[in-house]
Amino acid sequence: MLVLSRRVGESVVIGAGTPDAVTVTVLEVRGDVVRVGIDAPRSVAVHRAELLAELADANADAASPSENTVASLSQALRERR
């Protein structure tokens, strides 16, 4: 892992010279919170790592229920109407 020290207002560029270059700028440091600004092209999705991990888990939990599960869900929803 590359480790860099940066001051407020300074940036790093990832993928410089490519169409996918991303610029990360340190905006503010307050206590243990660092605010960063991320300038990325639209094709590059930027998300908080923990939210992505949570979503990946949620998607994995939801994926490929058994036919029986789908049938009982369908039945339960019908009975509710």
- Which residues of this chain interact with other proteins, rule CB under 8 A? 42, 45, 47, 51-65, 69-70, 73-74, 76-78, 80-81
Q: How far is the CB of 2 from other proteins (least distance, A)?
A: 24
Strand-strand pairing, 33-39 and 11-14: unpaired
Q: How far is the CB of 49 from other proteins (least distance, A)?
A: 11
Q: How far is the CB of 37 from other proteins (least distance, A)?
A: 16
Buried b (16+ CB within 10 A) or exposed e, 12-38: eeeeeeeeeebebbbeeeeeeeeeeee
